[in-house]
Structure 1
Amino acid sequence: MGRNGPRHDAGREGRHVTIAHNPLRDPRDKRLPRVAGPCVLVLFGVTGDLSRKKLLPAIYDLANRGLLPPGFSLVGFARRAWEHEDFRQIAYDSVKQYARTPFREDVWRHLAEGIHFVPGEFSDPGAFEALAMALKELDQTRGTGGNYAFYLSIPPKFFPQVVEQLQSAGLADRSEGAWRRVVIEKPFGHDLASAIELNDTVHRVFPEESIFRIDHYLGKETVQNILALRFANEMFEPIWNRSYVDHVQITMAEDIGIGGRAGYYDGIGAARDVIQNHLLQLLALTAMEPPTSFSAEAVRAEKAKVLSAVRIPSDLSLATARGQYAAGWQGGVKVRGYLEEEGIPADSRTETYAAVKLEIGNRRWAGVPFYLRTGKRLSRRVTEVAVLFQRAPHLPFSETDTEELGQNALVIRVQPDEGITVRFGSKVPGSSMEVRDVNMDFAYGESFTESSPEAYERLLLDVLIGDPPLFPRQEEVELSWRILDPVVEHWSRQRRIDQYKSGGYGPDSADELMARDGRAWRRL
């Protein structure tokens, strides 16, 4: 059949072997990379760190890899009295400092020709009319075909105002054969009610298929590799269930504090900032059933099923832990505690560490706890999914032979050392039977000559192409808030919050959470 259908190859002895299309692989030949069609990306919030450090460099990297069309255009919108050249200089500086791929003058010159700027306030209808005129001019001069993506790299409180202004200026209305898309950065609300309200606001202007909710973790190669690991390898599926798995630990630890994010972070906290989106998405990918294909609808449907099956233990005082980092030493430098950070109230009860035990009420995972934790000012930076297996029911060795033997584990390292580690018991060389834990390691950097693109490269390209598998839909957002809201509400009734030393492993209550189940956190 064709490129996307089964292929028949002649096997040994003249037999014919049917090789089915792999749904995890792009349907096009790998020699034909996905390239965006004619379009304009309108970037709101061009003065922020996200734009300077991630988005602008990612746009250049896509251009450098030949994945943007010749007429691609970028329009910045901000409350600055800039000319086009001013914005081009900002973009140039960002690219030179943060781009992943080497700087090439010819690529930059071609990209810069399509970089424009429109000054204005979000509250000014005239500024959006000027934006509409600028986009129409680009359609004529750059051949962008009326295809516009609006990236809202702005505080969530401005989302309603901006999308309504886009509607009033006629920028949300698709002309025949063209598309309009809006990209929304997390957080998608601060609880279930606000998430529904935000969704209703955006839906009044854009249909669901035109809304792209960015969770940059889903663009990471190692996160996508969870699907490849599970569904492209037969060896794991038979043991990926309650009969063999003892428990799962999902960790996102940071060695930094809140930095200059006090205005955003206080009142939000670690659970809303990380668990509601990043960690629950990792849980969904780890626990979901095999999708029928790698299409957006198939993957999203399985993620929604598993999130709807998540169960929170009835006694949250025994199944959760939280804390704030106190002063301490980090990398040989003395650092301040959270309550001493600039802009943080002295009586703040916002958590910088959060841990929760969850269970999944379905046939595959019944009785298997999933432990999620995240924190700032911990001993090191690491994000990983660790699947720990049950111990062997019988060991024909003496206790001294296997005294230090732990549980078999499969660890997916998301960052910073991207790869996979398998831990198992092996005989120590020598005349006696001594068994010891060893690791078998796969590292992306050593196994592939291709460098991994940044998450925002993949996600921006998916937006411009209109490929949504890596973007959570509203159902997933609401299910995640339904899981987290009871936890946050439980904590709001507690006056006390644990302190933990900067550079350590988190509060004692997190260790107690695991100890009650006879388990322990993996060492950071």
Structure 2
Amino acid sequence: MQFPTDSGFTFVLFGGTGDLSMRKILPALYEAHRSGMLAESGKIVGVARQEENRAQYIDWVDTHVKPYAAKNGLDEAAWTSFLARIDYVKLDLSRAEDFATLREAIAPLPGIRVFYLATGPSLFVPICQALASVGLNSGARIVLEKPLGYDLKSSNAINDAVGEIFAEEQIYRIDHYLGKEPVQNLLALRFGNALFEPLWRREWVESIQITIAEELGVEARGNFYDNTGALRDMVQNHLLQLLSIVAMEPPHSMDSDSVRDEKLRVLRALKPLDADDINKVAVRGQYHAGVSRGQAVPAYATEPGVKPDSRTETFVALKVEIENWRWAGVPFFLRTGKRLADRVAEIVVNFRPVPHSALGPSALRAGKNRLVIRLQPNETIRLYCLAKQPGEGMNLASVYLDLAFDRFFREGQMEAYQRLLLDVIHGRLALFVRRDEQEAAWKWVEPILNEWATTPRQPKPYAAGSWGPAASSAMLAQHGTCWLEEEN
């Protein structure tokens, strides 16, 4: 699809030489350009502290970004025309005159202005204040990457300061999991099909699992991660956002506030946890030395930048309950961790068994009816049900209906960042986190943070390359269930 030239934009990328820009943002913009989804007049302006001119920055993009942009194949002509969109402005945050230089550089450029802050959260407020000091906040859109604060207090402080400069409808708090194709299709399945919506409730759903597992450790991010941990890094944002999408009521429409109002109701209905609850329904772990993909890997406490006696969690498993009419009594199991056995992100909806099996014991052994929404590494949706095996006797086996979108649609699946960046450019807020959602998530998470900060107990150890502490499996076993990979 080719957008008209009056959809022009100026996309200003702070942290223009950073890792996120290199791996995600610029490749996503290239793919949108290659697919004809960017207006011809749209411009991209990289901003960083390096003493570079435009030619040097283009060389950097060609060297460092091109390998990521080329993972699905590279169109050399499209790449060349994409580079022609890019400009560069050297900017030191401590120099007010550099922001005046930025204003002069983008003044003649067309369309809506988007400022993407691919920087640490400590720089969000100074950048916004400096933009306002030269009048660049008026009518612009500001994109804030996670983490947005360290706790509720610091998150509110950032939101208060940014909110004095930009109106809420100008602020795009990005969570890239909300841009993934299967998450979008989950909404379509639920709200577009009479088959699923009647089943999406406590009477028919036994439990729901949401997992985001990583094979990698903290790599070179030890200093950051040791002051953050998995609860802040993944649960407060990604996992609770996915939970709210899964559990939300049907919105009035798909406009931004209707969708986010329903997500907020879920977050506010989460059962609060006190200290006694936390010890029963929250597992925190930390990886020790082990073997991952056939290679020996070190313990978290020996990673560069990590304190040797660190109590920072690299694994979290939680049992969550939603206190409303639709979901009362249904456990939601959330899990995330580093140095786990596989890289996978998925949502598993386990449906209740039939009330009486007339088909014999093989029906009980064959497995559950379930819907598995795989977010990464391959994006798929599968509905598992039972079918008779060929041959003599009534022997059942688990089979699945594969919602293979590539067989029905010629267009390839859009990457999450590509979708979200296009939404920013076109002013669509539905897939971005509103401030009250963020506050509700922090309020629910904070008692766990406080309990873990004050307890002297170390996180439960688990071997790198495993699926986490045994206590995680034991927590599910108490409810008569197990993680999906354990059943398989």
Q: Same fold (TM over 0.5)?
A: yes
Q: In structure 2, which of residues 46, 51, 67 is the aligned counterpart of residue 81 of structure 1?
A: 51
- What's the counterpart of residue 190 of structure 1? 150
- Are positions 1:438 and 2:403 aligned together? no
Partner amino acid, structure 1, of 2:103 = A
Normalized against structure 1, the TM-score is what? 0.89
Q: In structure 1, which of residues 124, 127, 142 is the aligned counterpart of residue 95 of structure 2?
A: 124
CA contact (8 A) 1:312 1:358 kept: no
CA contact (8 A) 1:123 1:161 kept: no
- Are positions 1:208 and 2:168 aligned together? yes
CA contact (8 A) 2:204 2:352 kept: yes
CA contact (8 A) 1:322 1:355 kept: yes
Cα deviation, 1:68-126, whole Å, max 9, x if unaligned, reads 22221111111111011111112222442111554334433433333221112111101
Counting only pairs closer than 5 Å after superposition, residues 448-487 of structure 1 correspond to structure 2 as: 448-487=409-448
Q: Aligned partners of 1:111, 1:414: CA distance in 2, in Å?
A: 29
CA contact (8 A) 1:292 1:298 kept: yes
CA contact (8 A) 1:72 1:111 kept: no
Q: Aligned partners of 1:117, 1:82: CA distance in 2, in Å?
A: 8
Partner amino acid, structure 1, of 2:33 = A
Cα deviation, 1:299-357, whole Å, max 9, x if unaligned, reads 11111111111114541101010101111111111111111111111011111100111
Cα deviation, 1:187-245, whole Å, max 9, x if unaligned, reads 12121111111100101110011001111111111111110111111101111100111
Counting only pairs closer than 5 Å after superposition, residues 103-142 of structure 1 correspond to structure 2 as: 103-136=74-107, 138-139=108-109
CA contact (8 A) 1:60 1:95 kept: no
- Are positions 1:60 and 2:26 aligned together? no
Counting only pairs closer than 5 Å after superposition, residues 12-161 of structure 1 correspond to structure 2 as: 37-99=7-69, 102-136=73-107, 138-139=108-109, 144-145=110-111, 147-161=112-126
- Are positions 1:235 and 2:195 aligned together? yes
CA contact (8 A) 1:405 1:425 kept: yes
The SS at the match of 2:390 is coil
- What's the counterpart of residue 417 of structure 1? 378
CA contact (8 A) 2:5 2:40 kept: no
CA contact (8 A) 1:418 1:444 kept: no
Cα deviation, 1:387-407, whole Å, max 9, x if unaligned, reads 1111221112443x3351322
Normalized against structure 2, the TM-score is what? 0.95
Q: C-alpha displacement at 1:35, in angstroms?
A: 7.8
Q: Aligned partners of 1:504, 1:405: CA distance in 2, in Å?
A: 26
Q: C-alpha displacement at 1:462, in angstroms?
A: 0.9
Q: C-alpha displacement at 1:56, in angstroms?
A: 1.1
The SS at the match of 1:404 is helix
CA contact (8 A) 2:273 2:448 kept: no
- Are positions 1:181 and 2:135 aligned together? no
Q: Aligned partners of 1:313, 1:281: CA distance in 2, in Å?
A: 18
In structure 1, the gaps of 5 or more residues are: 1-30, 174-178
- What's the counterpart of residue 254 of structure 1? 214
Q: Aligned partners of 2:4, 2:387: CA distance in 1, in Å?
A: 44
Q: Aligned partners of 1:347, 1:36: CA distance in 2, in Å?
A: 57
Considering only aligned residues, what root-mean-square deviation do their CA atoms show, in Å? 1.7
The SS at the match of 1:154 is coil
- What's the counterpart of residue 485 of structure 2? 523
Partner amino acid, structure 2, of 1:57 = P
In structure 2, the gaps of 5 or more residues are: none
Partner amino acid, structure 2, of 1:231 = F
Q: Aligned partners of 2:391, 2:80: CA distance in 1, in Å?
A: 64
Partner amino acid, structure 2, of 1:478 = E
Q: In structure 2, which of residues 455, 460, 466 is the aligned counterpart of residue 504 of structure 1?
A: 466
Change (3 A) 1:505 1:446: farther
Number of corresponding residues: 482
CA contact (8 A) 2:13 2:45 kept: yes
Q: In structure 2, which of residues 450, 471, 474 is the aligned counterpart of residue 489 of structure 1?
A: 450
Q: In structure 2, which of residues 255, 264, 269 is the aligned counterpart of residue 295 of structure 1?
A: 255
Larger Rg: 1
Cα deviation, 1:455-478, whole Å, max 9, x if unaligned, reads 111111111111111111101111
Structure with the bigger percentage of helix: 2
Q: C-alpha displacement at 1:36, in angstroms?
A: 7.4
